[in-house]
Amino acid sequence: MRDIKIIGVPLDLGAGRRGVDMGPSAARLAGLADHLRQLGHQVTDLGNLDVAEPETHQISDSRLKFLSEITATCAQLAEEVGKTLEEKKFPLVLGGDHSIAMGTIAGVAAFHKRLQQKIGVIWIDAHGDMNSPETTPSGNIHGMPLAVCLGKGVPQLINIAGEFRKLNPAHVVLIGVRSLDQREQEFIRESGITVFSMTDIDRLGIYNVMTEALRIATQETHALHVSLDMDSLDPSEAPGVGTPALGGLTYREAHTIMEMIADTGILGSLEIVEINPILDIKNTTAELAVELAASGLGKRII
């Protein structure tokens, strides 16, 4: 059983729509801590990090909206995640928009770098999150975090928690993608990461996709980080997200993903992002996020 620390990051500066700042509260309301304790885990909730609100700050660069504020939050998060790992505890990070992944992954990568260890990442998302200031159509930083973690972007973000590339593309797998910008597609093809689109899942089946994804992400790595964007699921399953895209993961496909991740035994950190209660129906998306967290942390049907 694990000693889990829940870290809330109510950041919505990276998104184009308000509401994901309430995601951590929605997951807590859905009984996250109790579900994990019922599995035998020890759970401590650290509450939320203090983050800036868009109404109190000005946008200085339309290609990198709220850059300084997002950088500060991600640096704070990286420090908290690193401290959690040093205490031999499991960081469970609740977003907020997906820009927080830059902080979570920076903290995880810096911790393992000190130990001369490699990490693998499974990024579950409808979108690639691989834009840059040059390619972004919106300037919203939640469309850039995976690119940043791979070393593409502005120094302020790339160098959170240290001046080194946080992820090796050979150990990164993107799953569930179905909505990409044209120039983002080009970078993804050139990046060296492995991508399983929804078309691949349709053709191969989720079991075969995950078998190969886990082989790639866990080969020669010491820990696995999972970044789960709730918009990876079909909107019929998870309506409360800011950027829904039709044709997403089904309920059972998402659970199979998390159950197979749990079976590896090397899940070292988890973040769940982009829950938007304003757009949700009776907290359905947050409740599903809690179920998926439980599956990733050991819950089984029998």
Give the other-Cβ count within 10 Å of 73's Cβ.
Answer: 26
231-247 burial string, b = 16+ CB within 10 Å, else e?
bbbbbebbbbbbbbbee
Question: Would residue 274 show up in a list of annotated catalytic residues for this protein?
Answer: yes
Give catalytic status of residue 45 as yes or no: no
DSSP of 47-72, one letter per residue?
EE-----GGGS--S-TTSTTHHHHHH
DSSP, residue by residue, 226-258: EEEEGGGB-TTT----SS--SS-B-HHHHHHHH
Tokens 């980080």: give the residue: 225
Active-site residue, selected from the candidate residues 129, 259, 271, 287: 129
* Chain centroid offset of residue 138 CA: 20
Q: Torsion angle of alpha carbons 35, 275, 68, 118, nearest 10°?
A: 50
Q: Is 21 a catalytic residue?
A: no
Q: Is 98 considered catalytic here?
A: yes
The amino acid sitting at 35 is H
Catalytic residue among 21, 181, 231, 291: 231
Active-site pick, 21, 229, 253, 287? 229
Q: Which of 12, 41, 97, 98 is catalytic?
A: 98
Active-site annotation holds for 200 = no
b/e 266-282 (16+ beta carbons within 10 angstroms → b): ebbbbbbbbbbbebbee
Active site residue 3: no
Catalytic site residue from 12, 69, 97, 125: 125
Query: Alpha-carbon distance 283 to 274, whole Å?
Result: 13
The active-site residue out of 12, 21, 259, 274 is 274
Which one of the listed residues 35, 127, 171, 225 is annotated catalytic? Answer: 127
- Catalytic residue numbers, as ranges: 98, 125, 127, 129, 142, 229, 231, 274
